[in-house]
Amino acid sequence: MTNKAPNAIRSALLPLLGLDNTYALDRLDLTVRTTLDKDAQDSVTQFLASLSDPSQVRAAGLDQYQLLDHGNPRSVIYSVTLYERMRGANVLRVQTDNFDQPLDINQGTKLQMGSTAKLRTLIHYLEIIAELHYKYAAMSSA
């Protein structure tokens, strides 16, 4: 789990540098700055990993009805992506999960949502569109 952020950064660099593989990337002498917050990243990763322990689930208050009130908490995969709005841009601060395998759940996967989650997502999307329409409808198309 601890290598997922560096691996994501390395993968993002490949097309930017016109490289085909990480072997070629490893041969370069370069320094990369990222918006990821290492301390926050490590803290969230550690917290997500701790949720495999039922006592930690209770301590976090996640043992409620329709959350983790039954079942094995070790079988739940959590994924967190956190952006911070700064100077007119959204910058990635945390991108992690508790899946202890090389696959990064945040990139390259599709999640199937239940019908309630789909409806909530659709409603939230439509609320955003309505807010943008209200804000920009009076403006000319130019």
Query: Is the whole-model pTM more than 0.75?
Result: no
Statement to judge: residues 118 and 102 lie in one domain: no
Statement to judge: residues 75 and 133 lie in one domain: no
Statement to judge: residues 14 and 70 lie in one domain: yes
Statement to judge: residues 11 and 24 lie in one domain: yes
Radius of gyration of the chain from its Cα atoms, rounded to whole angstroms: 20
Is residue 84 a contact partner of residue 90, using CB atoms and an 8 Å limit?
A: yes
DSSP for 16-51 reads HHT-SSHHHHHTS------S--HHHHHHHHHHHHHT
Statement to judge: residues 31 and 88 lie in one domain: yes
Number of domains, the chain: 2
34 DSSP β-pair partners: none
Residue position matching structure tokens 């700064």: 86
Instruction: Indicate the pLDDT class of residue 108, thresholds 50, 70 and 90.
Output: low
Statement to judge: residues 98 and 121 lie in one domain: no
pLDDT 10s digits, 28-71: 999 999 999 999 999 999 999 999 998 998 898 888 877 777 77
Statement to judge: residues 141 and 71 lie in one domain: no
Tell me which residue range forms the domain holding 124.
112-142
Statement to judge: residues 106 and 39 lie in one domain: yes
Statement to judge: residues 104 and 119 lie in one domain: no
The 3-state DSSP composition of the chain as helix, strand, coil percent (nearest 5) reads 45, 10, 45
Instruction: Indicate the pLDDT class of residue 115, thresholds 50, 70 and 90.
Output: low
